[in-house]
Structure 1
């Protein structure tokens, strides 16, 4: 079944998170996604709070920068959350914005090599394996989690360029891409991910998660258009995801048709009513579930 969620972007201060999380759960939003953008909010501190405040809401990390966090530490963070709140954590990792990584002295000379070493190590640690590896970036000497999760969560990796998209198919359990991508671009990206999976001999399912900017109510279309213009996204009618929940359900269907398994709705940067936005996402999720 297609999955729907919402994003609490770090353009909102941390003190807004509790009301947003409670509003999301009350509205029936299945997933609330958090970003770990420099230098704003810790995704894992925020995730632990959201999970504690709510009962059923799943929390996605979309995404944590690999250069910023040692893989063993990240595995500990994820495993702890997964044991405390089983089945409610969706961890994601990515290259990180390269300029931000440079600011803290953590920019990898080869982000692809880092991902190739990091994601399998993270998956192995979460599966309870003892790892010994001496890579360019990931070095582990007999490292094994004392408290691995009972069931390792799927590890999602972010991708944009063709090489990274293929690599996410090779090494990760799912792929996430940013807002501003048209359904045609999603279709091409899904094909690249599948190329990576085929090359690695991967079987089973692979999630493809798409962030999509959306708005509800008066002036929604104008706000979405302005948001895309600010991010220099292509001016394309397929990116007009706005209106009432029925309108939004229709507008996101092409993303699912292109191969997305999840559409996570992102508020505009000037969203005036975050709780109202989350109520709209809950209505979209209910309509989508009713239609199967």
Structure 2
């Protein structure tokens, strides 16, 4: 069965998260995802709060930019969340938007080298290993977590280009594809990933419902410059688009509302109560 969820956009103020997360939990939504876009909501703080406010809901962060955090700190944060909330905490990280990384003085000369070193170190730490490494970017001296999670969680990498997709297939437990990735784009990504069948593919899909759905989706497509707009319409229309992504190889589809969605709470209910029953 395809996993289904929705996104709490960082354009929403942080104080709205509690009510939306609780609503998602009560409505039976499987997953709620957060973005750590600069310079909006923090991924770790928001996800931890959402997990604490809910009982069953899984909460994903997609993604946290690796230049922002030391690898040991990232491993500590992931381990803490997993020990407190188990597999309800889903973690994704990646390069981050390079212009934003430049704004904070954290832009790496070789993002691929950084991501490789970082992912390798974080995975080793989460497995309870003592890590010593002197890479170009990641430098650790006999570092080990006192509270490593058991079992070690899979970490997802957000990827778009072929090289990052290949790296994700090599090192990560799954890959996150951005909103606007078409079914053909999902198939192409799967080819680049070249990973085993248990490598989870998470795809964000733009979606809108209601009287202005088509207009809002069209504006978003023009603004974002994506080839595939996602889906606008009733639950049957949206579910059909989800199924197309699933057939292309997506294990998890997370519906992304438009920034100007007039009813974020209604969108959560729509996904959980109307779309979910139609998706196999």
**Shorter-chain TM-score above 0.5:** yes
Partner of 2:203: 210
1:160-175 equivalent positions in 2, closer than 5 A:
160-175=160-175
- Cα deviation for residue 243 of structure 1 reads 1.5
1:30-69 equivalent positions in 2, closer than 5 A:
30-69=30-69
Q: TM-score, normalised by structure 2?
A: 0.97
- Cα deviation for residue 204 of structure 1 reads 5.9
Distance (Å, rounded) in 1 between the aligned partners of 2:111 and 2:74: 17
SS at match of 2:41: coil
SS at match of 2:119: helix
Partner of 1:12: 12
1:1-292 equivalent positions in 2, closer than 5 A:
1-194=1-194, 197=195, 203=196, 205-234=198-227, 236=228, 239-283=229-273, 284-288=275-279, 292=280
Please say if residues 98 and 107 of structure 1, whose CA atoms lie closer than 8 Å, have aligned partners that are also in contact.
yes
Please say if residues 211 and 266 of structure 1, whose CA atoms lie closer than 8 Å, have aligned partners that are also in contact.
yes
Contiguous gaps of at least 5 residues in structure 1:
198-202
Please say if residues 34 and 62 of structure 1, whose CA atoms lie closer than 8 Å, have aligned partners that are also in contact.
yes
Deviations 1:108-133 (A, max 9, x none): 10010011111111111111111111
Partner of 1:200: none
- Cα deviation for residue 240 of structure 1 reads 4.1
Q: TM-score, normalised by structure 1?
A: 0.93
Deviations 1:60-104 (A, max 9, x none): 010000001111101111111111111111100010110111111
SS at match of 2:86: coil
Contiguous gaps of at least 5 residues in structure 2:
none
- Cα deviation for residue 13 of structure 1 reads 0.6
Please say if residues 76 and 145 of structure 2, whose CA atoms lie closer than 8 Å, have aligned partners that are also in contact.
yes
Deviations 1:132-164 (A, max 9, x none): 111111111111100011212110001111111
Please say if residues 6 and 278 of structure 1, whose CA atoms lie closer than 8 Å, have aligned partners that are also in contact.
yes
- Cα deviation for residue 177 of structure 1 reads 1.1
- Cα deviation for residue 285 of structure 1 reads 2.2
How many correspondences in the alignment? 279
Distance (Å, rounded) in 2 between the aligned partners of 1:163 and 1:271: 34
Distance (Å, rounded) in 1 between the aligned partners of 2:37 and 2:230: 25
Query: Which of structure 1's runs of 4+ aligned residues deviate more than 6 A?
Result: none
Please say if residues 21 and 50 of structure 1, whose CA atoms lie closer than 8 Å, have aligned partners that are also in contact.
yes
Please say if residues 21 and 53 of structure 1, whose CA atoms lie closer than 8 Å, have aligned partners that are also in contact.
yes
SS at match of 2:87: coil
Root mean square deviation of aligned Cα: 1.1
Deviations 1:229-265 (A, max 9, x none): 111112x4xx341222222111221111111111100
SS at match of 1:86: helix
SS at match of 1:145: coil
